[in-house]
Structure 1
């Protein structure tokens, strides 16, 4: 949605918006972006404004967990490991043999991860319970008002 003339500058500004430390700063950066690029690349601006809330949904989660939730590093590492082991065989005699190898590898990786802790969910669960409590309090207030 952006001409080549502005592509690099727009990409840099969008990256700054997405890397904002909190929602307030992200909105401020979005407003600046709209002011600067609104007339230059209206389709890109409209697209960003429309998708802003979805793109920034990760901000609702505590900062400690954001990077792990928003990146695909774990999936990419898994794919690398599968490819590394699959390359050793080079040619599979049939599809079933490839499925067996990949299935065995995934089962092995699953067992390894069962013993690990990817995130310390205790703190996250406490935060989540607080969010649920706040939501139920708001709903109760709405019932009383209406």
Structure 2
């Protein structure tokens, strides 16, 4: 219960109702949390598409609309690929220091056998 007279920010209810998977990004290193919290690629893509399609009053065909939106998507993809890396390799180094698990003898054969059995069961059901 909060003290009388104090208001909570509107986002407080969102955090209270959030599931652990929605807050998983908070376990990332500090440099990654800022990027994950502020990076909304889809929203930027939608804004750029609206900006470019607003110029055209009426599209002559559905195909022309698809071509324009496709070109906008390609431009945004190229711009994103050419931009600087938000997550640096140096910040990932502690994760790379983990020792790999020892390989189980016959592990690959076991996996192949299990996958084969799963496909056989699927074929029998279909």
> What TM-score range do you get, normalising by the shorter chain?
0.5 to 0.7
Give the secondary-structure state (helix, strand or coil) at the position aligned to 1:59. helix
Q: CA deviation at 1:96?
A: 1.0
RMSD of equivalent CA atoms: 3.1
Alignment coverage as a number of residue pairs: 96
Aligned to 1:55: 22
Change (3 A) 1:82 1:13: closer
The structure with the larger Rg is 2
Change (3 A) 1:98 1:127: farther
Aligned to 2:92: 125
With the length of structure 2 as denominator, give the TM-score of the two structures: 0.58
Q: Distance in 2 between matches of 1:135 and 1:9?
A: 46
Name which structure has the greater RCO, CA cutoff 8 Å, separation 6+. Answer: 2
What's the CA shift string for 1:1-24, capped at 9, x where partnerless?
A: xxxxxxx75956446xx4xxxxxx
- In the alignment, is residue 90 of structure 1 matched against residue 57 of structure 2? yes
Give the secondary-structure state (helix, strand or coil) at the position aligned to 1:80. helix
With the length of structure 1 as denominator, give the TM-score of the two structures: 0.51
1:105-124 aligned within 5 A:
105-124=72-91
1:1-146 aligned within 5 A:
9=8, 11=10, 13-14=12-13, 18=15, 48=17, 51=19, 53-130=20-97, 133=98, 136=101
- Tell whether the 8 Å contact from 2:49 to 2:69 is kept in structure 1 after alignment: yes
Q: Distance in 1 between matches of 2:39 and 2:81?
A: 19
